[in-house]
Structure 1
Amino acid sequence: MELSYWELKNWFSNVDFTIVGSGIVGLHTALRLRERFPKSKILILEKGALPQGASTKNAGFACFGSLSEIIDDLATHSEEEVIQLVQKRWNGLQLLRKGLGDSVIDFKPFGGYELFLQQDEFLYQDCLQKMPFINDLLRPFFKADVFAKQVDRFGFGNIHENVVFNPFEAQIDTGNMMQALLKKAIENDILILNRITVTGFSDNGSHVSISLQDFAFNTDKLLFATNGFAGQLTQNAVKPARAQVLITKPIPDLDIKGTFHFDRGYYYFRNIGDRILFGGGRNLDFEGETTSQFGNTEIIQNRLEELLKAVVLPNTPFEVEHRWSGIMGIGASKRSIVEALSNNVFCGVRLGGMGVAIGSLVGQELADLL
């Protein structure tokens, strides 16, 4: 592509910071850089028409881990690491709320619930048995019990009578959040270019050369905020993980309010007004869902509908209106990767499905590496 003098001058010359990815992490990185370097030229490159990955596609859960997820994490992480993970997620949520405002992101503190299917007897008993220990672990930070046993009051089907309630969970409007972040970036003189794919880069010591599909340009610093797509360019220990979701048409007199998990967090649902958003099922086909390709599969979508009918809305007719997918970034560790790849190249990736919770914090940490 042949660029004009004006295009070169305004967008691709004297660039101080180039960020790849305009999602939650990328936008918070840019805003933090603007705070630290008020006169700098900041450019964000985004390969999609809208932020790719999961930033505009996630379910809008303001959560930091269900009881069973935290118990599972203790099998692969130390107690101190698990506490730090929860603290980071909670602090990230507070940072997001402070930066944008609860009314803007439609923050609703309905609380969160974990359900246990009737066939998951061992998981149910294990969680109830370990709940006091997990509460003791988290109490110094939250100054209260995080998890409590409650009788299911929503009329769910094929589950144990008791659910685990978490009063600290909430839900947000993902679309409102991302629109507000994009607006804030533009107001802070941050340039955002969409439909731009980075094909390569080279740190030349004094600057970084960035290759795009049709041309190349130089930047002083390059920062990757590409999460599930990070492995394609940065060679980081990040695997893409597709998450499939559906949403119903409006349901008259829907009484379900809150965020809900079951089957160790592999399934999750919430109300959006009088609709139900339901997602998950990646555990049905780990190999197939370890992909950076968007799309839906029959095995998972059929299972979502089965569970929606049998568990979530057992006595309520519903129609599915829309389906979509998002791409998360996961790895062997739940800790995000925020590090320098060379003198002038940095990354903030592997959010482990907790982008809403930690995206703002990872963005700040990435900007503060410089």
Structure 2
Amino acid sequence: MELSYWEYKTWLTNIDFTIVGSGIVGLNCALRLRERFPKAKILILEKGFLPQGASTKNAGFACFGSISEILADLDIHSEQEVIELVAQRWKGIQKLRKNLGDKAMDFQVNGGHELFLDAAQELYQKCVQKQSEINALLHPIFKADAFHGSPNTFGFKGIKENYITHRFEGQLDTGKMMNGLLKMVQQAGITILNSITVEHFSADLSSVKIKTNRFEFSSKKMLIATNGFAPQLIGEDVKPARAQVLITKPIENLPLKGTFHFDEGYYYFRNIDNRVLFGGGRNLDFKGEETDRFGNSQLIQAHLDKLLKEVILPETPFTIDHRWSGIMGTGMQKKPIVKQLSENVYCGVRLGGMGIAIGSTIGHNLADLIA
């Protein structure tokens, strides 16, 4: 489709900054650029009609890592690296809350509970034994002991009699959060063009030539914030990771309150609008879920259904209302990639399933790479 003179002149000429991706990172990057460069012309390109990837498709967890996740991280990272990862998540949530306000995104702190299936005896014992050690490790961040034991008050079946609870973990309404960020960006005079896929770019010392599925144009700088879709554009250590989710219809007198994890964080569920939202199972088929294609697999959905019926709601009739998937960005390391790639190209990707917690600070840090 040929664009008119007016379209090019108004929306695609004299662009100072082009951000690829309108998720949490991209929107926060745009807001920080507007703060730093009040007169700049900022454009955001989004491949979906709404933000794609995981920003509008996640479970709405404001989490910092369950105790088993942190122990698993210590197997592949140094203690200092793990402290920095958790601190980044904690600071990111505080930044998000400050930017939007708790009411705007229905932010609640009801605690995050890690369950241990009866078959996970070895993991459970390890976590119990290491609880004091991990509390001491993270005390400088939370200024208190984050983890403590709590009884199985919600009547889950087939699990150990106690949870290990993270007292500071919260939850929010993902849709309200993203809608709030979109409003802030629009009020800041930043243009978002939806259903635009960046297919190729080439950079020189003065600008970046960008080819999309609908038009070509030039921008002084380009910032890539596409997380799991980044391999389509750049060669960094980031791979797509699909996460599958389901939600029940409303359940009368639903007792659940809070966020819940088990199996080192590969499964997670929460209450929302008198429903149970439940996701995970990527560990059943890592290779198959290393994809940037949306969709659900019968293997994982059947297992989610089974766990929902046998463990989470064993005495409560329920009906599944929706099923969906989101695309995360993962890699060999959990540390996000925020770097300059060339003279005028930058990226902030590989959020490792912690987009809500760290997306605000990653977007801020990405914008601050601009000299």
| TM-score interval for Structure 1 and Structure 2 normalised by the shorter chain | over 0.9
Q: 2-side partners of 1:10 and 1:285: how far apart?
A: 47
Aligned to 1:79: 79
- The count of residues paired between Structure 1 and Structure 2 equals 370
Q: After the TM superposition, which residues 293-308 of structure 1 pair with which residues of structure 2 at under 5 Å, given as runs?
A: 293-308=293-308
Letter in 1 for 2:327: I
Alpha-carbon distance, 1:215 to partner = 2.7
Unaligned 5+ runs, structure 2: none
Alpha-carbon distance, 1:273 to partner = 2.4
Q: 2-side partners of 1:247 and 1:241: how far apart?
A: 20
Q: After the TM superposition, which residues 98-177 of structure 1 pair with which residues of structure 2 at under 5 Å, given as runs?
A: 98-177=98-177
Q: After the TM superposition, which residues 227-306 of structure 1 pair with which residues of structure 2 at under 5 Å, given as runs?
A: 227-306=227-306
Tell me the SS of whatever aligns to 1:139: helix
Which contiguous aligned blocks of 4+ residues in structure 1 show a shift greater than 6 angstroms? Answer: none
CA contact (8 A) 2:207 2:344 kept: yes
Aligned to 1:327: 327
Cα deviation digits, residues 174-194 of structure 1 (max 9, x gap) = 000000101110000000000
CA contact (8 A) 2:196 2:214 kept: no
Tell me the SS of whatever aligns to 1:189: coil
Aligned to 1:2: 2
TM-score by length of 2: 0.99
- Bigger CA drift: 28-37 or 3-12? 3-12
Alpha-carbon distance, 1:214 to partner = 3.5
Cα deviation digits, residues 122-172 of structure 1 (max 9, x gap) = 000000011110001011221110000111111000000011011100100
Letter in 2 for 1:179: N
Alpha-carbon distance, 1:267 to partner = 0.3
Q: 2-side partners of 1:214 and 1:127: how far apart?
A: 52
Letter in 1 for 2:79: E
Aligned to 1:209: 209
Aligned to 1:345: 345
Aligned to 2:88: 88
Letter in 2 for 1:3: L
Q: 2-side partners of 1:118 and 1:273: how far apart?
A: 29
Aligned to 2:47: 47
Alpha-carbon distance, 1:210 to partner = 0.4
Q: 2-side partners of 1:349 and 1:142: how far apart?
A: 26
Q: What do you get for the CA RMSD once the two structures are aligned?
A: 0.6
Q: 2-side partners of 1:276 and 1:355: how far apart?
A: 21
Letter in 2 for 1:160: K
Letter in 2 for 1:264: E
CA contact (8 A) 2:204 2:343 kept: no
Aligned to 2:23: 23
Q: After the TM superposition, which residues 302-321 of structure 1 pair with which residues of structure 2 at under 5 Å, given as runs?
A: 302-321=302-321
Q: 1-side partners of 2:359 and 2:278: how far apart?
A: 22
Q: 2-side partners of 1:212 and 1:141: how far apart?
A: 43
Cα deviation digits, residues 257-290 of structure 1 (max 9, x gap) = 0000001100000000210000000001101000
Alpha-carbon distance, 1:204 to partner = 1.7
CA contact (8 A) 2:247 2:320 kept: yes
CA contact (8 A) 2:117 2:160 kept: yes
Tell me the SS of whatever aligns to 1:351: coil
CA contact (8 A) 2:115 2:159 kept: yes
